[in-house]
């Protein structure tokens, strides 16, 4: 029979040499595990000696404890009566907000985000809302769609409207898909599974984050026939770990149809809002930078958890062959931001089947270009990419018209990240469903009003993107490339 | 002798199988009519069992009851003493606002709108003010005029100034006309007739909405000799209904000189402000989208009333011949937003005599182009349109200078929609008159200061539209059209 | 001996048939004069029967009564004891504002305007501050200077700096001059004479308004040796009146060196702020439009006073010869806003010696181009104008850098209007002096930092005006001129 | 033994003929020194007769008294008991602000500036924060970086990142350097020495101001091995003074490696914020202009102190040879704002080894171009400059991405001025260290996310600067140069 501890006993073990924590009423000795914690040692020490369930739960999928701790680390249970009463004013807690309004009363994504902002914990909100530096790319991602005008045609029979299409050869009900984003349970207990359920009726695809807060099996559990998923990988410095993960996905290829390799955040961006929220004991944060932690401003080690162990040495020549060896699934490369990289990616077809133009929701490098810029660059400099690869985009989608504009420019899939999470935060599965319901209705209304019946009907003739075209990269004609000047003789 | 009911008796009949309502102190059994109500069943059921006059009156022209109900549906009268007292704080009611200021004290259209906003019911205001999505097109409609600079010439005798012109060969006192807009009685009991009276002295033309709140005969009643009208048609799925309407207009061709076919809203735009106001029992609303009502966000059926039964399958090849068969009147096509459609319309002259460049006041598809863009497109790509068709524009007019700029770019008629309704809302017929008085004075001052005596003197030399020209559609030179890429071999 | 009236007696004569007013304690019968009052009949009737001195004084130069009334109109004097006590809270009165701060403590023109706004009467402020419609041109006049960047050169000896130049061959200490503006005594009792005194030490030129509130002789009284003036004419419908005025100026040609003919306001602009202030009994206002007064919105006759009798039929071919016949002085044409008119003006050299590019401070036609646009147009399309005529500009000057930029683009003189009046309003003669002191110091600092010693050194190489150049008129290349389309066969 | 004075005795000597002041408890007779005070006579007279230590200390390096006063000027000491008590509410005093937050909690430069604003005296803050006129150049300096987009490449091994480079052949740890800025002790007692210490661990270069508040020897005291400095010279009218200074620097060439000659402020700019703060008795201020002080608005003489005696007659042909004669150190020219001057500077290599593109932080001439404009101009018109001279830039740096963008465009060094001073103001040496820590971390994160390992890898391919390129000077094609028109025959 398991030993029962008083909280007062547990609280004595708070050093790096002797560190206990309480999780789900069980007492663990995590001393040995400390050095290998992906989030760093410090964050655990902050929680040492007390009940860390609230911080631990929403960001660790089930099985994490079992996978990482030896059986003998489990010391016993805690006597609940001895635990301190929760502080009524505790800011860390998920706010017991006023009951959210009925999802059907919400008319657009901004209203849903507003409700989510009230429902979610400050920390969770900060993590989702934040972006790099001054949020310039985040805002530009959306603004650039507003700068594109539509060109509706008249006298076209618009009785029928069909948003179905194919992604990687799979039939989907809509070009909209859910981008990979970490730890959905920070938004709502329904987590990634709630997202899967919410988008089910729309036939939409979902890419599951490498940092999901539920297991891959849990997420797809109960999904609709034909509903498909991709799995995002952040390659680990310890390649073996990644290989184990790939092997697990390979076995679920009835649901997981591709591997999405994220490339736009080999090191973490500087998300100050997120960083500000870090003082609350939590393992959610993004660091200012990698490298020598002594030089690292602000983070104090906490902020780097999610990136801990992530490889920053991926290359075209080494990573793709390694992936080929470890998974038969097609590869979708995420995070391309230049036509040059799109052109390079094309050389790796058919292993690479699609590319996602993305600046990581503005969360990696501030003033990185929005996907629309890259889309226009490709159209201008290497349109053949469109015939060799599927081109997907994400970032900044707020309206059905935004989706349609991306499709007109050649995108085949259009991802939403924060919008799905805010939908989840606002109302769990129902909130996600409402988010898609709104976007789908807006997409259909837009297509009808344009005079387009099918996704394939969409093309550049339906949009006027001059206001954006004049801002895309043009190779600096008339400016000599002096990148090498430093080698000249002074 | 008609039976007299207690209100308490009427209130028992509130189901879809047994539905009574009180209108103008008469009790009707509308059970049989329910399924064919253009606004849907739900909206009537919300009002079932009670006095619906206040909701019914401002949006149904006289004769509607007689046209739609069998004589036996009229059950008797209600004993007024048994009706509940009106709720003093009732929001649905037209506000008994402070007495409006004298119309002559108002100096511009913004001031008139401000007064109207205070005088009108919230619901009526929301319906007029609202536009699609984020109001981008609505705002751009106006902004684009502000971006055009004028080029006044000096040393020109400007003693005389004449704003008269012709529209479709009819002499008018001004190029300004009133655009078709639904249900003017929501603004003021004077309704569409009040508009007709208010513009009478200026010799201005008026296009009467298919959804007017008064009959076509009422509206033109007492109009000045030579005052002319057009009639707007929304073609119904049940073509017979439209044919009956056309036959009625044909008989009034002394006043109604043309048919205006609106094409820029084959399905309703998403007007969220209007949608927000819908919870108040009313049949005024715009739906998020058409189609499967189960998937329809927010609207719950109410929002689609005005579009209920409207055909979305109109085409160049089928609709124009059908119109020719049913009316000898010339056709004005409303809602063109591309030069391509202007070019197509030209092929249908002389049945089609004019086109109206319009994005439906920004109410249909957000980020659709303002009329000025389309005007500039036509000038650039197919200026021959101007010699084959009259080109009218609407949207965004706030100042006489706006009107003059449109005329300089080749517009022959310039429509105002909301401005006329807000004039009506501010002061009934007097408010409409003041609106036109201000605009006319501003147009004349502008022409004199430019050095133009007659409408025909106006031309592009009087304006500098570079700031707008660089934003118009240019066919994406340098961007390959990949609209068909999806069919290529992946 | 003059009769002495009780105020109670005077107040009985308030009709168009029998109208008395009290001015400077004298009682006049103005019945016969009523129909010929430039400001209209109504405005006098509003003041009939009472002491109108406060309204009359700041806007009529001395001698006006003598010039316009027969001797017998002077009935006698009023017994001051019988006059009503002035109302303490009277809004019409010049506010007894807090003592203004010392002029030397004010550092820029905005600060001076701020003080003037507090010191002046609301009506006077509204008259000066106001501009046409939405103030777009007024704001653009200033903004356009901010959009031009300077290009300072280094390693240039800037010990010396000389702002002197010549205007029409006359030596002046600075290219800055005072633009003609009406009724300076509305700002301060020092009036136009105060302006002349304030600018005296800078060797600056002043153009005296046709609507000055002091006589031409009063204004130049005590001016410095070599200080010169121009006189602005608004040609009257009754040319004889103008001829008398010209004859008077011709006799003062030791001081008045040229005639400035204002052409950018042949009819008044719509200055709503000014119009709003009109309800206070005053003859200061600007009308919405000319013509049929029954159609005139808002103004009710008051607003047109200053333009009453002003000719709107001036032309190149008739007006310049008439001027030549009536004055030997050179002509400066004010209000050109297109290169076409600059080119035309050049044909009339040498009678015409200079042109002033001006949109009347944004007060005539809103969205008319700023002078900088016209300057750039001339440089682009007919630079020979610069060698045949002097080109002066006004509008929007707030900083010495604005002045230098205009000079770099080819302007020879740079006028300030509101700035001089606000200087006067802030501190009378001292305020005007301070205004010029600041601008002169800023001009000098700018020239030194650019590396320019003399006015003639300035040129386009010192500025980067690309942000403005792309907005100037370009003749609509690619857009066919359809100004005449209406005559084509429909 | 030194005489001891009562404060009451000292206070009697306050005239230009008999002027005493108390400094560091010593009484001085400064009557003879008055006329030669660089800050002018007035400022001393304001402090005459009292203890001026608080005003004197932060802006005069030690040794100033000894250098400028004869021994007999030292009259004795003051009896501290007789001095008036400091006024508790004295605004002139450095605010005893709340204890500043820990530097590590500050995440970006804006937060540091915010803390500094609270910690510093109002006068010191105003001096640092202020810029010329309307702060347009100051704001543009920063905005222009935000308008440049980055172009991150993917699949690049970014494990390593090295920001080291060379400046003038000297190895430095970072391209970031500290720009010369006056009187650092106004920010914090650590002064310029605190800056040197704060940047030491980053291997950064520092340019010491000619108006430093500590001696050159004090500043470099205790600097790290290999840490290097430059010395800024403002050439004095009395060249002998400058020659003495140069001789002193020549002897410290183990630390001071070059002379930086500032050329963008031969006369002071108009910094109104600074001017506003001048009424407080202080010798810190900037004048509106130079020249005849009677005409000088506002300044009253105080504002010109720092520029007092500064030569405004420097030229390429005279100043560089003079410098060559007086120092063997290489020359860095600061303040170039046109490609023309960059091209000229190139002719003076190798004496001139680097140029600094700078508009003096927007403090000299408002609307002068940001360094990025000049960088683009050079790339466009004379890229050979980059191979003959090092090109450094300063102005507007707020983020590591700003630094990287400048480097991509060809800059070799990137200076920060206000940011270092605000770092100092926020937390002394620690604050400076934190400022560099943040910027360095941001630079590294940016380089990694771009896929650049070394400074030399950076080049234009990593940025999209179209939004800026279209605004740079282009020589006014199509606009004839009429700079000489005034000489033509009118």
Q: How far apart are alpha carbons A249 and A255 in whole angstroms?
A: 9
- Mean pLDDT estimate for chain B: 88
Q: Which two tokens stand for residue D299?
A: 């300044």
Q: Which two tokens stand for residue D200?
A: 């030491």
Q: How far apart are alpha carbons B269 and B136 in whole angstroms?
A: 13
| Chain B contact for C477 (CB, 8 A cutoff) | no
Cβ-based contacts of A469 with chain B (< 8 Å): 476, 479
Which residue, among C485, C487, C488, would best test binding to B if mutated, counting the most B CBs under 10 Å from its CB? C485
Q: Minimal Cα–Cα distance from C413 to chain B, Å?
A: 21
The answer to whether residues D77 and D195 belong to one domain is no
Domain assignment present for B277: no
Structural domain count of chain B: 2
Q: Minimal Cα–Cα distance from B143 to chain C, Å?
A: 12
Domain assignment present for D99: no
How far is residue B16 CA from its own chain's centroid? 33
The answer to whether residues D141 and D229 belong to one domain is yes
Among D28, D56, D128, D234, the one annotated catalytic: D234
Domain assignment present for C303: no
Cβ-based contacts of C146 with chain D (< 8 Å): 134, 136, 367
Q: How far apart are alpha carbons B278 and B421 in whole angstroms?
A: 20
Alpha helices in A327-478 (DSSP H): 339-346, 371-381, 385-388, 400-408, 418-450, 466-469
Q: Do C459 and D484 touch (CB under 8 A)?
A: yes
- Mean pLDDT estimate for chain A: 88
How far is residue A98 CA from its own chain's centroid? 28
Split at pLDDT 50, 70, 90, the class of C461 is very high
Contacts of D42 (CB under 8 A, 6+ apart): D300, D301, D302
Is residue B268's pLDDT more than 70?
A: yes
DSSP class per residue in C289-344 = --S-GGG-TTTTTGGGGGGTTB-S---HHHHHHHHHHH--S-EEEEEE-SHHHHHH
Residue C60, pLDDT score: 85
The answer to whether residues C14 and C128 belong to one domain is no
Look at the alpha carbons of C37, C42, C47, C52 in this order and tell me if their dihedral is positive or negative: negative
Split at pLDDT 50, 70, 90, the class of B1 is low
Split at pLDDT 50, 70, 90, the class of C444 is very high
Q: Which of A32-41, A297-306, A471-480, B189-198 has the highest average model confidence (pLDDT)? A: B189-198
Contacts of A422 (CB under 8 A, 6+ apart): A109, A112, A113, A116, A117, A128, A187, A431, A435
Alpha helices in B168-308 (DSSP H): 191-199, 216-220, 239-250, 272-276
Q: Do D151 and A290 touch (CB under 8 A)?
A: no
Q: What is the DSSP letter of C264?
A: S
The answer to whether residues A244 and A199 belong to one domain is yes
Q: Which of C159, C438, C457 sits opposite D312 (nearest CB)?
A: C159
| Chain C contact for B456 (CB, 8 A cutoff) | yes
Q: Are C129 and C120 in contact (CB under 8 A)?
A: no
Domain assignment present for A487: no
Residue A103, pLDDT score: 95
DSSP class per residue in A94-156 = PP-PSPPPPGGG--SHHHHHHHHHHHS-HHHHHHHH--STTSHHHHHHHHHHHTSEE---SS-
Residue C458: CATH number of its domain: 3.20.20.70
Q: Minimal Cα–Cα distance from C211 to chain B, Å?
A: 20
Which of C79-83, C276-280, D259-263 has the weakest average pLDDT? C276-280
Q: Which of B155, B390, B445 sits opposite C267 (nearest CB)?
A: B445
How do strand C176-178 and strand C170-172 relate by DSSP bridges? unpaired
The answer to whether residues B56 and B117 belong to one domain is no
Residues 291-310 on A with a CB inside 8 Å of D are 291, 295-298, 300
Q: Are C191 and C184 in contact (CB under 8 A)?
A: yes
Residues 18-77 on B with a CB inside 8 Å of A are none
Cβ-based contacts of B458 with chain C (< 8 Å): 483
Domain assignment present for A155: yes
| Chain D contact for C84 (CB, 8 A cutoff) | no
- Interchain touch B–D (≥3 Cβ pairs closer than 8 Å): no
Give Dmax over CA atoms of chain B in angstroms: 80
Split at pLDDT 50, 70, 90, the class of D89 is very low
pTM given for the model: 0.91
Q: Using one digit for the tens of pLDDT, what is the confidence trace for D456-488? A: 999 999 999 999 999 999 988 876 544 333 333
Q: Are D361 and D278 in contact (CB under 8 A)?
A: no
Whether omega before C350 lies within 30 degrees of 0, making that bond cis, reads: yes
Q: Is D234 a catalytic residue?
A: yes
Among B360, B366, B373, B394, the one annotated catalytic: B360
Q: How far apart are alpha carbons C200 and C226 in whole angstroms?
A: 10
> How large is the average pLDDT for residues C263-274?
86
Contacts of C320 (CB under 8 A, 6+ apart): C331, C348, C351, C352
The answer to whether residues A203 and A352 belong to one domain is yes
Split at pLDDT 50, 70, 90, the class of C285 is very low
The answer to whether residues A194 and A167 belong to one domain is yes
Burial class (CB within 10 angstroms; exposed 0-12, middle 13-18, buried 19+) of B420:
buried
Q: Using one digit for the tens of pLDDT, what is the confidence trace for D166-220? A: 999 999 999 999 999 989 999 999 999 999 999 999 999 999 999 999 999 999 9
Q: Which two tokens stand for residue B224?
A: 């000045």
| Chain B contact for C343 (CB, 8 A cutoff) | no
Q: How far apart are alpha carbons D389 and D339 in whole angstroms?
A: 13
Residue D34: CATH number of its domain: 3.10.120.10
Which residue, among B105, B111, B151, would best test binding to C if mutated, counting the most C CBs under 10 Å from its CB? B151
The answer to whether residues D121 and D69 belong to one domain is no
**Overall residue count recorded for chain D in this entry:** 490
Q: Which two tokens stand for residue B177?
A: 């006309």
The answer to whether residues A225 and A295 belong to one domain is no
Domain assignment present for A323: yes
For a pLDDT cut of 90, what percent of chain C falls above it? Answer: 72
Is residue B234's pLDDT more than 80?
A: yes
Distances (CA, A) of C158 to C400, C451, D314: 17, 6, 8
Q: What are the residue numbers of the active site of C?
A: 234, 264, 360
Residues 366-425 on D with a CB inside 8 Å of A are 376, 379-380, 383, 386-390, 399, 401, 408, 410, 412
Q: Using one digit for the tens of pLDDT, what is the confidence trace for C64-120? A: 888 888 889 999 999 988 988 765 544 444 445 567 889 999 999 999 999 999 999
> How large is the average pLDDT for residues C465-483?
81
Q: How far apart are alpha carbons B22 and B25 in whole angstroms?
A: 6
Residues 173-232 on A with a CB inside 8 Å of B are none
The answer to whether residues A228 and A302 belong to one domain is no
The answer to whether residues C24 and C132 belong to one domain is no
Q: How far apart are alpha carbons B37 and B231 in whole angstroms?
A: 23
Q: How far apart are alpha carbons D335 and D357 in whole angstroms?
A: 5
Split at pLDDT 50, 70, 90, the class of D286 is very low
> How large is the average pLDDT for residues A473-479?
83
The answer to whether residues A251 and A276 belong to one domain is no
Q: In what order do the strands lie in the sheet with A74-78?
A: A3-5, A74-78, A26-29, A18-23, A14-15
Q: Minimal Cα–Cα distance from B63 to chain A, Å?
A: 31
| Chain A contact for B335 (CB, 8 A cutoff) | yes
For a pLDDT cut of 70, what percent of chain D falls above it? Answer: 88
Domain assignment present for D489: no
> How large is the average pLDDT for residues D87-94?
47
Q: Do C366 and B399 touch (CB under 8 A)?
A: yes
Task: Please name which of B274, B219, B226, B291 lies closest in space to residue B249, comparing C-alpha atoms.
Answer: B219
Q: Do B297 and A441 touch (CB under 8 A)?
A: yes
Q: Using one digit for the tens of pLDDT, what is the confidence trace for B295-336? A: 333 343 333 456 677 899 999 999 999 999 999 999 999 999
Cβ-based contacts of B263 with chain A (< 8 Å): 154-155
Query: ipTM of this predicted complex?
Result: 0.90
Residue A65, pLDDT score: 82
Residue D481, pLDDT score: 47
Residue C413: closest C-alpha in chain D: D486
Residue B172's φ and ψ, nearest 5 degrees, are: -130, 155
Q: Are A420 and A438 in contact (CB under 8 A)?
A: no
Residue of B74 and B85 predicted with greater confidence:
B74
Q: Is D264 a catalytic residue?
A: yes
Split at pLDDT 50, 70, 90, the class of C199 is very high
Is residue B484's pLDDT more than 80?
A: no
Domain that holds residue B256: 109-266+310-469
The residue written with tokens 């008269």 in the block is B164
Q: Which of D151, D438, D460 sits opposite A337 (nearest CB)?
A: D151
| Chain A contact for D469 (CB, 8 A cutoff) | yes
Domain assignment present for C7: yes
Residues 115-154 on C with a CB inside 8 Å of B are 133-134, 136
């Amino acid at each position: 029979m398991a030993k029962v501890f008083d909280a007062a006993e547990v609280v004595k073990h708070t050093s790096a040499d002797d560190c206990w924590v309480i999780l789900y009423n069980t007492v663990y000795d995590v001393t040995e595990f400390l050095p290998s914690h992906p989030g760093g040692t410090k964050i655990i020490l902050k929680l040492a000696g007390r009940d860390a369930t609230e911080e631990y739960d929403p960001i660790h999928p089930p099985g994490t404890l079992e996978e990482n701790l030896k059986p003998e680390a489990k010391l016993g249970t805690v006597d609940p009566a001895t635990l301190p009463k929760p502080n009524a004013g505790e800011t860390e807690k998920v706010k017991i907000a006023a009951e959210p309004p009925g999802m059907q009363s919400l008319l657009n994504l901004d209203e849903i985000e507003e409700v989510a902002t009230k429902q979610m914990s400050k920390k969770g909100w900060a993590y989702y809302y934040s972006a790099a530096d001054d949020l310039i790319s985040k805002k530009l991602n959306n603004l650039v769609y507003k700068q594109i005008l539509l060109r509706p045609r008249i006298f076209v029979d618009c009785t029928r409207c069909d948003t179905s299409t194919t992604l990687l050869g799979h039939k989907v009900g809509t070009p909209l898909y859910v981008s990979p984003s970490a730890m959905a349970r920070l938004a709502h207990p329904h987590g990634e599974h709630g997202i899967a359920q919410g988008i089910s009726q729309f036939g939409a695809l979902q890419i599951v984050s490498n940092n999901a807060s539920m297991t891959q099996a849990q997420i797809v559990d109960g999904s609709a026939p034909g509903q498909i998923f991709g799995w995002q990988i952040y390659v680990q410095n310890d390649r073996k770990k990644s290989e184990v993960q790939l092997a697990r996905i390979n076995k679920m290829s009835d649901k997981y149809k591709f591997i999405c390799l994220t490339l736009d955040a080999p090191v973490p961006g500087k998300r100050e809002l997120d960083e500000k929220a870090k003082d609350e004991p939590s393992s959610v944060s993004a660091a200012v930078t990698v490298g020598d932690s002594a030089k690292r401003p602000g983070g104090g080690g906490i902020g780097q958890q999610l990136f801990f162990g992530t490889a920053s040495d991926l290359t075209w020549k080494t990573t793709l062959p390694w992936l080929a060896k470890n998974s038969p699934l097609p590869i979708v490369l995420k995070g391309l931001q230049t036509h040059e990289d799109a052109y390079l990616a094309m050389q790796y077809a058919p292993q690479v089947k699609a590319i996602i133009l993305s600046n990581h929701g503005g969360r990696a490098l501030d003033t990185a270009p929005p996907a629309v810029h890259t889309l226009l660059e490709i159209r201008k400099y290497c349109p053949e990419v469109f015939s060799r690869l599927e081109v997907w985009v994400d970032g900044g989608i707020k309206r059905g018209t935004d989706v349609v504009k991306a499709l007109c420019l050649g995108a085949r899939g259009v991802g939403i990240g924060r919008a799905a999470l805010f939908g989840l935060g606002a109302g769990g599965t129902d909130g996600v469903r409402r988010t898609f319901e709104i976007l789908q209705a807006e997409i259909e209304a837009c297509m009808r009003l344009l005079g387009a019946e099918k996704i394939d009907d969409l093309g550049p003739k339906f949009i006027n993107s001059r206001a954006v075209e004049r801002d895309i990269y043009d190779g600096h004609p008339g400016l000599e490339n002096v990148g090498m000047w430093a080698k000249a003789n002074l």
